[in-house]
Amino acid sequence: MSNPIGLQDGGLADPASTSGASEEPGGPVISKSPTQLAMGRLLKDKLTMISAAFVVFFVLLALTAPLAYHVFGWIDPLKSDQDLLNDFSLPAGKWGGISSDHWLGVEPGAGRDTLARVWYGTTFSLLIALSATIVAMVLGVVLGIVSGAAGGWVDAIIGRIIDLTLAFPQTLMLLALASTGMIMVRNYLHTPAGNVTAAVYVVIVLGAFGWTSIARIVRGQVLSMREFEFVHAAQMMGASKVRIYFREILPNLWAPILVTFTLMMPAFVSAEAALAYLNVGIGAPTPTLGNVLSDSISFADTAPVYFFVPACMIAAIVISFNLLGDGLRDALDPKGNR
């Protein structure tokens, strides 16, 4: 299927057009590598730099949550405090119980600190998204390279597997398989019951359905790169096929892989939330952004702050990763000398 925004062109497919020298009248000719050119474009792109800063911020949040909880004791996502709630089990005080102790208010029902829930939830949400992205990436890159490198019937079979994977309705499968899938995960991988099994199941299934896009991109890149001089040179030196494809060609695919990676993360953060709404995946009391939000919808009208905070957090993560991915793609596109 065609790729609307031109991901296929996202790599360093055409060194001829990129290894140009920037010529300043009168000055010395400065040659820049494609990477330097891309970095230059990236640094000039304000929106992308801002979204990159946000992405770094969210990743830092995710990394520091365990420290803030276990080491410094700033937050406690599990501590429930009924004193913070009024007679209706809703947050006492204005604005959903926002105070100097509870910056983002209090969770209705259990009386836990929303900031702690959302902060720690970011850790688990990003962890799941990252693991699923890695699974999808490894599957997709390996199958894409094998497909492009082997050609013939291997290529045809992998192509059919991609068709088959795409024919499965994803959300439906994730939900429908949940019951049997979790049993399989527990039996075959011997994971402890409960949230670990649920998380492993979600990661495996998201990855198993998410690898097709990167596989197609990698296959296309491999096909175009097969005829490059450095590949012929490696062949001349008697390099094995495995070496050529995984040691020579693969490192040159970092650009499309990076872009797809950045765009896959937010998709899986959203997917985690959607699945949490369907009661698949990590469940309370362990917080994820998805299960905090899906818990909050029963208080949508009575505790608006608690309803909007996790949703805005998810939206902020999704937007910043998406904008960063778009910016990276534009910057890494060798034709992007605008």
Partner 1 sequence: MWAYAARRVVIGILLLLALSLVTFILFFASPADQAKLACGKQCTQAQIAVTEKALGYDKPVYEQWAGFAKGVVAGRDFPIDQAQREAAPETVTHCAAPCLGFSKYYGETVNSLIKDYAPISISLAVVAVVLWLFFGVLLGIAAAVTKGSILDRGIVGLTLLVYAFPTFFIGVFFLKYVVVKWGLLDYPYYTPIAEGGVWGWLTNLWLPSLTLALVFLASYVRMTRAFVLESLGEDYIRTAKAKGLNSRAVLFKHGLRAALTPLVTMTGIDFGTLLGGAIITESVFAYPGLGLLTVQSSQAWDLPTVVGIVLIAGSFVVLMNIIVDIAYAFIDPRVRLG
Site residues (CB under 8 A) for partner 1?
1-2, 4-6, 160, 163-164, 166-173, 175-181, 183-184, 187, 266, 270, 273-274, 277-278, 290, 293-294, 297, 300-301, 307, 311, 314-316, 318-319, 322-323
* Torsional sign, CA 41, 44, 45, 49: positive
CB 300 within 8 A of CB 307: yes
Reference 113, options 335, 327, 310; nearest CA is 310
Q: Name the residue nearer to partner 1 (CB basis): 64 or 165.
A: 165
Query: Taking the complex as a whole, how short is the minimal distance between the CB of residue 40 and partner 1, in angstroms?
Result: 21
Give the Cα separation of 309 and 315 in Å (integer). Answer: 10
Residue 188 CB, nearest approach to partner 1 (Å): 9
Minimal distance, residue 231 CB to partner 1, in Å: 27
Alpha-carbon 118 to chain mean position:
18
What b/e readout covers 152-169, taking b as 16+ CB neighbours within 10 angstroms? eeebeebeeebeebeeee
As measured in angstroms, the least distance from the Cβ of 306 to partner 1 is 12
Residue 325 beta carbon to partner 1: minimum distance, rounded to whole angstroms: 12
Residue with Cβ nearer partner 1 (225 or 293): 293
Distance CA 50, CA 317 (A): 13
Of residues 65 and 182, the one with the C-beta less far from partner 1: 182
Query: Which of residues 258 and 274 has its CB atom nearest to partner 1 in the complex?
Result: 274
Beta carbon nearer to partner 1, 233 or 278? 278
Q: Please, which residue, 63 or 312, has the CB nearer to partner 1?
A: 312
Is 100 strand, coil or helix? coil
Residue 335 CB, nearest approach to partner 1 (Å):
11
Residues 6+ apart with CB under 8 A from 191: 185, 197, 200
Q: Whole-angstrom Cα distance, residue 100 to residue 315? A: 25
- Integer Cα distance of 70 and 78 in angstroms: 12
